[in-house]
Amino acid sequence: MKELIESLSSKGILKTPRIIKVFQAVDRRKFVHADFDQDATLDEPLPIGFGQTISQPLTVAFMLELLQPEQGNHVLDVGSGSAWSTALLAEIVGTMGKVYAMELIPQLKAFGEDNLRRAGYTTVELFIGDGSRGLSEFAPYDRIQVAAAARTVPRALLDQLAVGGRLVIPVGEFVQEMVLIEKLGNGDFREQRFPGFQFVPLVID
């Protein structure tokens, strides 16, 4: 993993010290299927079953650098899958923060929960549900990360984002743009788009 982190840093993908630190702290091998244990340090997406993948480390790093989570943040992680990104977020926000993770596929929720438990993360809560609707009962969120492609940015996620918060989501049907949205005020948003990504689609219940 050290070589992968050094590679991502040399490419300018990993830049923020606290994000580099959590990549060093959270072992990706604990969040892949046993069949792919030897591939966990590769900069590639890996299958986790049910047509889903654990994202490529470069993509995860890029998203976290856009999201800029901070200690104490209240975070929604949509499409948690194997929960590697969830663990990275939990490591950053610390015990003063909170991560709520959503997964639509029950078997993957169970897989992610088991991975988090074995890795020692006890403050994360996982829920089964349609990520496009968010999780309104715990809103607003300082940060929202979505690890599946939406056709458009779901209105519910914009509504559940706190003022001053950030939402990162891939948008598009076949090849996506990574979209960073900052909420400047109620109904007032600033958006940046970065092309060239490919995600599995956001499954809507």
* Active-site amino acid positions: 55
Q: How many angstroms separate the CA atoms of 73 and 50, rounded?
A: 31
What is the CA 85 to chain-centroid distance, rounded?
5
Integer CA distances (angstroms), 156 to 112, 134, 140, 148, 161, in order: 24, 6, 11, 16, 9
* Exposure string for 58-91, b = 16+ CB within 10 A, e = fewer: bbbbbbbbbbbbeeebbbbbbbbbbbbbbbbbbb
Tokens of 43: 């900069």
Q: How many angstroms separate the CA atoms of 160 and 155, rounded?
A: 9
Integer CA distances (angstroms), 145 to 22, 37, 67, 167, 199, in order: 16, 25, 7, 6, 13
